[in-house]
Amino acid sequence: LLGGHALFLGPSDIQLGVNESMRDTANVLARFNDIILARVYGHDDVVELAKYSQAPVINALSDLHHPLQTLADLMTLQEHFGKDLTGKTVAWVGDGTNVLHDLMLGSVILGMNVHIATPKGYEPDSNILQKTLDLAAGTGAKVFSTAIASEAVRGADVVVTDTWVSMGQEEEYQKRVSDFDGYEVNNDLMAKANEGAVFLHCLPRHKEEVSDEVFYSEQSLIWPGAENRMWTVMSTMASQLGKLE
């Protein structure tokens, strides 16, 4: 749609940091491409790519951050509630993942309060949480954490969850499902949120995380959010290439 040409390099095409250094890979890719969209595991990999690449590098996902998902979520909320989200409350119910990290950062920057519910041992990264608190102090947003899902959802305008079992954690499935008992987003949990509250999930969804009644309800903004991943990625790329004023 932007009129460019894509070069896709999957795991079988390129082994980052295996046969050559990340620095060498960054220098080569920057000569093939005007922009690099990197979906990696370790966050240090995308940081190193950006350090040595002469072309802009966009983090498409790392174990620590998922900024493009947050851009799509915030766009979706602005489409639903209006551009000014100040004073709205976002409740996270689930694992302290990369999706939560950027969602809480982005939310407080826009003046939204953040309620975080994670089981003990599944809390978000402490450094990113502290950065969130520091940013919230400047915007007036409120942030609090709990291990009880219903406490986080009470007073929320937006309820968000994500997978409980991320890539590479498949062997922990049974333990994690047990640890997240009581964290399913269902009608009973949504009833504790504010009237008119909406639901978001970055996909793919597993049934233990959210009931069909919520996932396919009018409260769900799943499908607009999925579409907005496309528009926000395109906008980010265009911005990094200097195509937007």
Contact between 2 and 238 under an 8 Å Cβ cutoff? The reply is: yes
What string of DSSP letters covers the chain? Answer: --S-------TTT--TTTSS-HHHHHHHHHHH-S-EEEE-SSHHHHHHHHHH-SS-EEEEE-SS--HHHHHHHHHHHHHHH-S--TT-EEEEES---HHHHHHHHHHHHTT-EEEEE--TT-PPPHHHHHHHHHHHHHHT--EEEES-HHHHHTT-SEEEE--SS-TT-GGGHHHHHHHTTT--B-HHHHTTS-TT-EEEE-S---TTTB-HHHHTSTTB-HHHHHHHHHHHHHHHHHHHTT---
Which backbone phi and psi does 62 adopt, to 5 degrees? -140, 175
Which backbone phi and psi does 77 adopt, to 5 degrees? -65, -40
Nearest to residue 118, comparing CAs of 138, 146, 140? 146
Catalytic annotation, pick one of 26, 74, 117, 202: 202
* 202 catalytic residue (yes or no): yes
- The residues annotated as belonging to the active site are 202
